[in-house]
Amino acid sequence: MSKIDDYIARRSEKEPEFANLVEQENINLEVAVKVRDLREKLALSQREFATLVGKPQSTIARIENGSMNASTKILAEIAQATNRRLTISFSPV
């Protein structure tokens, strides 16, 4: 475990709110990677992908850089526009 992982684990034990923030950021990062990977698999620029999805390019950029909590509505719109199925899984901690 790295020093940062150790710090996060220790602080999360002491501060449940911090643990929740870390979990949300991990979700944002996972969504960011999945959306970017899908866009790249389709060989589209952010602008082209945004047009396909019906969202501004800035929204796609914010999703891909993890600064936006992408709603299930937006993710469902991305899935529908790209003929994909949106799946959600819960893993044990």
Distance CA 16, CA 7 (A): 14
pLDDT single digits (tens) 34-67: 999 999 999 999 999 999 999 999 999 999 999 9
Terminal-residue alpha carbon distance, the chain: 16
Q: Looking at the predicted structure, is the pLDDT value of residue 23 above 80?
A: yes
Domains and CATH numbers, the chain: 3-80 (1.10.260.40)
DSSP 52-86: HHTS-HHHHHHHHTT-S---HHHHHHHHHHTT---
The H helix count followed by the E strand count for the chain is 5, 0
pLDDT of residue 89: 87
Distance CA 81, CA 47 (A): 14
For the residues 67-90, what does the mean pLDDT come to? 94
Q: Looking at the predicted structure, is the pLDDT value of residue 1 above 80?
A: no
Average pLDDT of the chain, as a whole number: 95
Q: Which of 2-6, 35-39, 48-52, 89-93 has the lowest mean pLDDT?
A: 89-93
